[in-house]
């Protein structure tokens, strides 16, 4: 390890520029550490962050098979130093460890608990589906568009599929603005046509036997039924049955199939519903409000991520507690 005099000297303002979820540097005493790389390279990094509620951080590393000395591990991410007389001007997070002999003393500090934990968790969660390709049917508007945005925000490349060319292209342009580092394209097609469905994704997933996740959007009405919606309820119940059967058939190919059951969600369609009717609906929901498309998209991203690697054939209700 380089001596203190050999370390690159950073100005406080330069370090402060890296106080974001995308690039997080931290000053401990007068040394500068690259916390972003530390978290990304160690599966135990998140355990260290979460240890702020109690316990010794070194125990978290032991639990995931890392060195017992977390402080020693952090030395590998020492990238420079900041002049002692400049540290008081630093806008970046600063932790003064003093003579503490354990890394846990630093982690339990207010600076760590109030700043590092939320930023660190944000950094970890921002890559839930990094390296994956999301293909979203109906991605040209409404919930489908929100799903595209959520997947892109979480690191996925996205193919927007919609029968409406303009809507699909609008979504692609939106993704390029919101996530300029991503790769996005559109596919105009009608998934009710067998040949277009085959060439889109199903055949490829089975042939290559790579891990994949299908998420179907059903509805809580498919489970409960509703007066005046016999046809709609039947179609959405069919999606649930389709999901369960497909999950059993495709598991041997390492393909998971799950479905989302949205409740009453704000979409362009609901904007046309009279306020009196919407208020009556909200009174039946324990949360007292309609859901947002983003809340459906969050559930979809979870089911597409490795966090749900042992979940298949499930129906996730996103209803605000409706029909509990």
Active site residues: 232
Helix (H) or strand (E) holding 273: none
Q: What are phi and psi of 140, to 5 degrees?
A: -80, -10
Q: Exposed, middle or buried: residue 213 (CB in 10 Å: 0-12, 13-18, 19+)?
A: buried
Comparing CA positions, the residue from 119, 131, 129, 124 lying closest to residue 43 is 124
At 187, is the secondary structure helix, strand, or coil?
strand
271: phi then psi, degrees, rounded to nearest 5 = -65, -20
Torsion angle defined by CA atoms of residues 210, 162, 148 and 198, in that order, rounded to the nearest 10 degrees: 0
Distance of CA 101 to the CA centre of its chain: 36
What is 254-314 written as a DSSP string? TEEEEEEEE-SB--TTGGGS-HHHHHHHHTTSTTSS-B-HHHHHHHHHHHHSGGGTT--S-
Q: What totals of helices (H) and strands (E) does the chain contain, helices first?
A: 16, 11
For 212-269, the DSSP string reads EEEEEE--THHHH--TT-HHHHHHHHHHHHHHHHHHHHHGGGTEEEEEEEE-SB--TT
CA 75 – CA 233 distance, rounded (Å) = 59
Q: What angle, rounded to 10 degrees, do the helices at 165-178 and 142-153 form?
A: 30
Strand 25-28 versus strand 31-34 pairing type: antiparallel
Query: If you ran DSSP here, which 8-state letter would residue 114 be given?
Result: I
d(CA 184, CA 160): 8
């Amino acid at each position: 390890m380089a001596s203190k005099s050999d370390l690159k000297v950073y100005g406080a303002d330069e370090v402060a520029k890296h106080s974001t979820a995308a690039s997080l540097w931290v000053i401990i005493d007068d040394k500068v550490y690259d916390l972003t790389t530390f978290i990304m390279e160690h599966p135990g990094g998140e355990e260290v962050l979460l240890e702020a509620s109690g316990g010794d951080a070194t125990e978290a590393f032991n639990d995931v098979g890392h060195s017992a000395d977390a402080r020693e591990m952090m030395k590998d991410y020492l990238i420079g130093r900041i002049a002692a007389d400049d540290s008081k001007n630093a806008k970046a997070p600063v932790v003064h460890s003093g003579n503490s002999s354990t890394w846990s003393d630093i982690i339990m500090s207010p600076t760590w608990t109030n700043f590092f934990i939320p930023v660190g968790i944000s950094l970890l969660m921002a890559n839930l589906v990094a390296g994956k390709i999301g293909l979203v049917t109906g991605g040209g508007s409404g919930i489908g568009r929100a799903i595209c945005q959520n997947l892109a925000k979480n690191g996925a490349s996205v193919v927007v599929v919609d029968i409406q060319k303009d809507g699909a292209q609008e979504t692609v342009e939106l993704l390029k603005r919101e996530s300029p580092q991503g790769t996005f394209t559109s596919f105009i097609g009608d998934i009710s046509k067998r040949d277009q469905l085959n060439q889109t994704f199903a055949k490829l997933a089975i042939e290559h036997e790579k891990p994949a996740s299908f998420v179907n959007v059903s509805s809580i009405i498919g489970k409960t039924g509703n007066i005046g919606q016999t046809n709609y309820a039947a179609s959405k119940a069919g999606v649930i049955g389709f999901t369960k059967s497909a999950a059993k058939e495709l598991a041997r190919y390492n393909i998971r199939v799950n479905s989302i059951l949205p409740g009453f969600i704000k979409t362009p369609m609901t904007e046309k519903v009279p306020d009196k009717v919407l208020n009556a609906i909200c009174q039946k929901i324990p949360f007292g409000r309609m859901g947002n498309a983003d809340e459906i998209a969050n559930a979809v991203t979870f089911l597409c991520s490795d966090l749900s690697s042992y979940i298949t054939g499930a129906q996730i209700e996103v209803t605000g507690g409706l029909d509990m």
